[in-house]
Structure 1
């Protein structure tokens, strides 16, 4: 299960819609209609472009996350006492807030 427990995820809904649309326009009964062939080609091209863009975006996001994690790790190694102090402060704040409940 994902973030949307008990519900289908938007990505799943989009994939289902794309599959249904592909089934409709790939019907052999429509092969003689030139506009349908053009729609099929545009659909396939657009779908592949969208998929490639999504992959690139995910790769860029992963790269940025890796860079930020590396920077945080480097800072923690360069300034361990500041990181420890911040962790203690956050822990004390959380303890205070939980104790008030």
Structure 2
């Protein structure tokens, strides 16, 4: 169930990111997003595992895929991945082309 919830976020992220492919600085933005995603995924792995180990929250087994990184279900990692690419892509699309070219 949780895995199905991640699909719209990941699809939207892919669509919006691809829509910025012709904008200036796309390669640099993708590199920055990839590094950001890596850091966010590492932080998610650390803090989700700590919070789950401390019993601050749990996931019903029947709602997750069963794939885990430590105690954290793999589904938890889709949101930081999406954010690392979607937020810069939206900012790029909201920036007028002329301002992008001057920067």
Structure ranking higher in helix proportion: 1
Q: TM-score range by the shorter chain?
A: 0.3 to 0.5
* Length-normalised TM-score, structure 2: 0.36
Query: Please, what TM-score do these two structures have when normalized by structure 1?
Result: 0.36
Q: Which has the larger radius of gyration?
A: 1
